[in-house]
Amino acid sequence: MKFLRDQVDKLKPHFSEGGKLSMLHSSFDALETFLFVPNHTTKNGAHIRDGIDLKRTMFIVVIALIPALLFGMWNLGFQFHKATGVDASLMDNFLIGLIHTLPIILVSYGVGLGIEMAFAQFRGHPVNEGFLVSGLLIPMVMPADVPLWMVGVATAFAVIIGKEVFGGTGMNLLNPALTARMFLYIGYTPKMSGEECWTPIADGVATVDSYSGATTLGNIASASAKSEGWSENLFSWKTSMMDSIIGTVPGSIGETSVVAILIGAVILIAAGIGSWKIMLSTILGGLFMGWIMDIAGNGNAWTEMPAYYHLIIGGFMFGAVFMATDPVSAAQTGRGKWIYGFLIGVLTVLIRVFNPGYPEGIMMAILLMNVFAPLIDYYVVQSNIKTRLKRVKVQ
């Protein structure tokens, strides 16, 4: 450690003002603060009890994502071995997942951080940590079989169009990770949905007879298209509700396990990073709309399905816990958060039930509400002003 510190200190004069490499100081600062705690000392404001900064915020989210990520890796191998009919140990499953997930993570971070650094250099502001979370969220919402160049293109699109054109971290209207997924989903639909993409099985590899690869969402959507009713057989692999909760079903890398996501939710809420209001209201919104569908339904699989199943299939929980709560793109006011989350839940179920083209609705619901979040905040603030004005006594 001492050696590293010395080396960094030796290099430092070159990068500080007046040094010959001073133009690269943003990149150097980024490297230094990754290696060491910044030595900035508090000059005033000792009344601040907890000077939480962007770095810590982001890191807690990354920690909260780890359970879902690790489970997703294991599940990938599990799905692979189940499809090919091989009995595999825990380690084998995990390794298969690691082999497929790690390149996606590396591409996502490499492309995203590269662009962020380029923009920071160009604009002359320090590289900030905004991409730490997005860079991990992007792989977690990808199907395992996605080509790496697509991840790269989508990441570049999300960082440039979704974030930098608005002014960088903290200024973006849309959630960058979902922007990346949306880009691929609309751009390369066959690679992002259907039965082929969730499990990385090479061409020509024999699979067991019961293998279909379809997700629960896909099964329900196609059953609904044929006006068939709901049955437990529609769970992917004909498994049960329990498997959907634990997460041993096909799906995007990080989204399948409700349990692992809830662990992440607990971490986020305990650290005060993620808003429990948004998580809760999203779930309530989904339940409410699912319940309306149950009552008013016209007898296809989507409407006959009990409302609470909406929460455990597809990416609902992942979206509600990690995507909707993005502090930048979500609503900021307390009441606004309730409205914002509730509408995400409602829209998710609406899109699932009524739009045959898009089996999963949470991605679009969150992006749509991201756009409306500033409007919601505006009206919440206005109504606060109005109620307070009423209290004013004019003499």
Partner 1 sequence: MSDNIEKKVSEPLLSKKRKQLVSNPMDTDNPITIQVLGICSALAVTIALEGTVIMALAVFFVLVLANVLISAMRNTIPNRIRIIVQLVVVASLVAVVDQVLRAYAYEQSKALSVFVGLIITNCIVMGRLEAFAMGNKPWDSFLDGVGNAVGYGWIIIAIAFVRELFGAGKLFGQQVLPDSYIGNGFFATPAAACIILGLIIWILRAKSGYVED
Query: What single-letter DSSP state applies at residue 300?
Result: S
Among the listed residues 103, 167, 187, 356, the single contact to partner 1 using CB under 8 A:
187
Contact call for residues 330 and 368 (beta carbons, < 8 A): no
- Kindly state the smallest distance separating residue 286's Cβ from partner 1, in Å: 26
- Kindly state the smallest distance separating residue 192's Cβ from partner 1, in Å: 10
Instruction: Please list every residue from 146 through 185 that binds partner 1, using CB under 8 A.
Output: 161, 165, 183
- Kindly state the smallest distance separating residue 259's Cβ from partner 1, in Å: 34
- Which of 164/377 has CB closer to partner 1? 164
Among the listed residues 59, 166, 188, 288, the single contact to partner 1 using CB under 8 A:
188
d(CA 362, CA 382): 29
Helix 90-123 with 54-84: angle, nearest 10 deg:
140
Instruction: Map residues 190-209 to x or -, x wherever contact with partner 1 holds by CB under 8 A.
Output: -x------------------
- Which of 45/357 has CB closer to partner 1? 357
Look up residue 239 and give its two tokens: 């498994």
- Which of 34/122 has CB closer to partner 1? 122
- Kindly state the smallest distance separating residue 174's Cβ from partner 1, in Å: 12
- Which of 349/363 has CB closer to partner 1? 363
- Kindly state the smallest distance separating residue 183's Cβ from partner 1, in Å: 6
Among 359, 236, 227, 238, smallest CA distance to 301 is for 227
Q: Is 186 in the site for partner 1 (CB under 8 A)?
A: yes
- Which of 118/161 has CB closer to partner 1? 161
Is residue 215 left, alpha or beta, with left meaning phi > 0 and alpha meaning psi from -120 to 50?
A: beta
Among 95, 74, 88, 62, smallest CA distance to 256 is for 74
Q: How many residues lie near partner 1 (CB under 8 A)?
A: 8
Contact call for residues 322 and 65 (beta carbons, < 8 A): yes
- Backbone phi, then psi, for 330, in 5-degree steps? -85, 175
- Which of 119/183 has CB closer to partner 1? 183
Say what the alpha-carbon torsion angle 26, 28, 30, 34 is, to the nearest 10 degrees: -170
- Kindly state the smallest distance separating residue 127's Cβ from partner 1, in Å: 22
- Which of 146/301 has CB closer to partner 1? 146
Helix 176-187 with 362-391: angle, nearest 10 deg:
140
d(CA 192, CA 20): 47
Query: What single-letter DSSP state applies at residue 166?
Result: G
- Which of 51/357 has CB closer to partner 1? 357
d(CA 215, CA 219): 6
- Kindly state the smallest distance separating residue 158's Cβ from partner 1, in Å: 12
- Which of 204/357 has CB closer to partner 1? 357
d(CA 80, CA 92): 10
- Kindly state the smallest distance separating residue 386's Cβ from partner 1, in Å: 32
Contact call for residues 77 and 93 (beta carbons, < 8 A): yes
Instruction: Map residues 113-152 to x or -, x wherever contact with partner 1 holds by CB under 8 A.
Output: ----------------------------------------
- Kindly state the smallest distance separating residue 175's Cβ from partner 1, in Å: 17
Residues that bind partner 1 in the complex, under the rule CB under 8 A: 161, 165, 183, 186-189, 191
